[in-house]
Amino acid sequence: MTDLALGDRHSRPIDGLGKEAEMITVLLRVGSVTGKVNRQHMLVCLTNLTARLHGVVRAIQVDVEGDISVVRPNGAGPINAMEGVENLATWANGGRISVLPEDGTADIIVDLTGEGASGADLYCWGAGWKAWIGHEPHRFGRGSDRQECIGPYLAACLVAGELFKRAKGLRKGRFADDDAYSLWDGSAGRWDDLDDGPNLVGSHLRPLYLIGAGAVGQGFIQILGASELADTFVVSVDHDHHDKEGTNLNRCFLAGIADIGHLKTDAVARYRALSGLGGMEHAGTLRGYIKGLRLGLHPQLAEAEANDEFDLVISAVDIDTSRQDIQGLHPRIVMGGSTDSLRAQSVTYGLVEGTECLGCWNVPNDYVASAAEREAALRAMSEADRRRELAGHVDDLDAAMAFLASKQPKCGQIGERDVKSFVGRIAPEFSVSFVSMTAAILTAAGLFRVVSGETELRSPKTVFQFKNLSMTETATPRRDGCPYCSGKQNPRGR
Ligand SMILES: [Zn+2]
């Protein structure tokens, strides 16, 4: 149990927040949830987010009655609500952050009832395409019969974000006051003034591809599965496993402790079966998928692929070379979800004239050059500094030191492998559950908007910043010289 580093990614220093978290016990006041689908979605998503906040949340106390009927990342079918969220937390974290009954010791009380009673520190509500968070009660009459998950899931992300900011201490930005958001028109303001979107339950979604089944990809699949669409077929492509240290688990929403070391696409396949979402998985690279045999592929996709056509691709990868590979297929529409510290964003590429493609600005770094630079820096250090820098990061410290000390190191010299692997490693970046889920929500909402026939896109890019709770829309122009946009690598002229 001690060899895992489950909270590693969100324990990394981040601008605007304190360094150390003061751990909190949170109480979720939910009331009776039987038949109240939006509240069930809020509860399931918030439990799944907070149960992964290792080193930040100590325990999750829940005051809830009745049954849950919505699909959960680890199960489906009606279940007693308390039992359902207890199982979810244990599955996600192996008992490290437990769901417990209320005992009066909570540091922060969150109200999810929408009934406007006082006594809580935070209040939230999500229904349809809208989400709200505040520090004063607000009574919600409208929207509570909506079945969509996107609004409730965003409300859950808003709460998890506030808990994280409170535990870490906020140095730049602000806490929630009375903040509502509409995923339909991308606006922020007061709940009553915001427009809701159309009904999604039972709606049709044409078949699509998801490239990347990590944090954002799994969140995206979770949303599709919980949206009760009439028919959908998702081809999910990812070659990666959940890492053996468990650092992916703080934001891989469809994976539990037992999935450590297993393929990310396995978690997707299991949840698809639970939720009835159609699709297939390819446990390999996108290049491998294109070259391989696609058994069980949706006939519409098979026909398009035969003509070398890709209609709709979701990019949930976090490496620029993978983004280049996706753009290289020249899909008609690409929707990309990504995160950068406490910022979530989604971009729709290919619909607005003159704006960037996925390949424009996501140009890969020259890893060979930067690795050579790091090796030169190591060689310039004093022996003591060099030893300190490498200690704990290489298998054979003495061999690595000897390799760096030799004036003309020979290729294949002992210690070389240690040093090359050290300098070639990319420092892992900060990432946290609620930001990844928000990127998935923004991406799914963008997709639902496009397929609902809402072709009048406002701006292709939506950015949510948790530090100051802003949701903004922007557009980025094309990059001069982008090979995809200039048509050099675009045989069909799209
Ligand atoms: Zn471009």
State the Cα–Cα distance between residues 238 and 287, nearest whole angstrom: 11
| H helix or E strand, kind and range, residue 424 | helix 416-424
Taking a C-beta distance cutoff of 8 angstroms, is the pair 397, 419 a contact?
no
Spacing, Cα 327 to ligand 1 middle (Å)? 8
Same domain, 407 and 447: no
Residue 324 alpha carbon to ligand 1 centre in Å: 10
From the CA of 308, how far away is ligand 1's center (Å)? 19
For residue 456, give the DSSP letter: -
**DSSP, residue by residue, 84-145:** HHHHHHHHHHTTSS-EE---S--SEEEE-S-B--S--SEEEEEETTEEEEESS--B--SSTT
Give the C-alpha distances (Å, rounded to integers) separating 220 from 18, 101, 252, 298, 345. Answer: 30, 30, 11, 20, 13
185 and 319 fall within a common domain: no
* Residue 260 is assigned to a structural domain of this protein: yes
In a domain, 470, yes or no: no
So what's the pLDDT on residue 457? 61
Query: What is the whole-number distance in angstroms between the Cα of residue 450 and the centre of ligand 1?
Result: 21
| 410 in a structural domain | yes
Q: Where does a domain end: 405, 424, 443?
A: 424
Is residue 400 helix, strand or coil?
A: helix
Write down the pLDDT at residue 270: 98
User: In this predicted structure, what is the pLDDT of residue 142?
Assistant: 65
Which residue type sits at 480?
D
d(CA 446, ligand 1 centre) in Å = 20
Structure confidence by residue, pLDDT tens digits, 28-58: 999 999 999 999 999 999 999 999 999 999 9
Q: Is residue 487 part of a domain?
A: no
- Ligand 1 centroid, distance to 482 Cα (angstroms): 5
CA of 455 to the centre of ligand 1 (A): 21
What pLDDT is attached to residue 490?
52
Supply the pLDDT for residue 493. 42
Looking at the fold, whether 159 and 229 belong to one and the same domain comes out as no
Give the model's pLDDT for residue 414: 82
- Please give the distance, rounded to the nearest whole angstrom, from the Cα atom of residue 359 to the centre of ligand 1: 5
Q: 317: CA distance to ligand 1 center in Å?
A: 17
Q: Are residues 302 and 440 in the same domain?
A: yes
- Its domain, for residue 234, covers 208-363+430-463
- Asked whether residue 325 falls in the same domain as residue 454, the answer is yes
Distance in Å, CA 474 to ligand 1 centroid: 17
Total tally of structural domains belonging to the chain: 3
Same domain for 256 and 287: yes
Q: Please provide the size of the chain in residues.
A: 494
Name the stretches of the chain with pLDDT < 50. 1, 491-494
Ligand 1 centroid from CA 286, angstroms:
19
CATH code where residue 243 lies: 3.40.50.720
DSSP class of 247: G
**Distance, CA 299 to ligand 1 centroid (Å)?**
30
Q: Are residues 286 and 318 in the same domain?
A: yes
- CA 275 – ligand 1 centroid, Å: 36
Do both 187 and 242 map to the same domain? no
Strand order in the sheet with 130-134: 99-100, 57-65, 24-32, 108-111, 122-127, 130-134, 178-182, 188-189
Distance CA 38, CA 244 (A): 35
Residue 129 located in a structural domain: yes
Q: Which pLDDT does position 494 carry in this prediction? A: 41
Ligand 1 centroid from CA 336, angstroms = 14
Residues 6 or more apart whose CB falls under 8 angstroms from that of 90 comprise: 98, 99
How many angstroms is it from 361 CA to the middle of ligand 1? 7
Q: Do residues 353 and 450 share a domain?
A: yes
Same domain as 250, residue 218 = yes
Distance (angstroms) between ligand 1 centre and the Cα of 480 equals 8
Task: Answer yes or no: do 358 and 415 share one domain.
Answer: no
pLDDT on residue 416: 86
User: 242 alpha carbon to ligand 1 midpoint, in Å?
Assistant: 31
Q: Are residues 93 and 35 in the same domain?
A: yes
CA of 314 to the centre of ligand 1 (A): 16
Q: List, for residues 242-253, the tens digit of each pLDDT value.
A: 999 999 999 999
Return d(Cα 349, Cα 462) in angstroms, integer.
12
Task: Give me ligand 1 centre to Cα 355, in Å.
Answer: 8
User: How many Å lie between the centroid of ligand 1 and the Cα of residue 489?
Assistant: 10
Tell me, what's the pLDDT at 144?
A: 67
**354 CA → ligand 1 middle, Å:** 9
| Residue 477 domain-assigned (yes or no) | no
* Domain membership flag for residue 373: no
CA distance 485 to 330: 10
In terms of C-beta density within 10 A (0-12 exposed, 13-18 middle, 19 or more buried), how is residue 162 classed?
Answer: buried
480 within a domain of the structure (yes/no): no
Contact assessment for residue 110 and residue 179, using Cβ atoms and an 8 Å cutoff: no
Which among 434, 90, 57 has a CA at the least distance from the CA of 256?
A: 90
Q: What radius of gyration do the chain's Cα atoms show?
A: 23
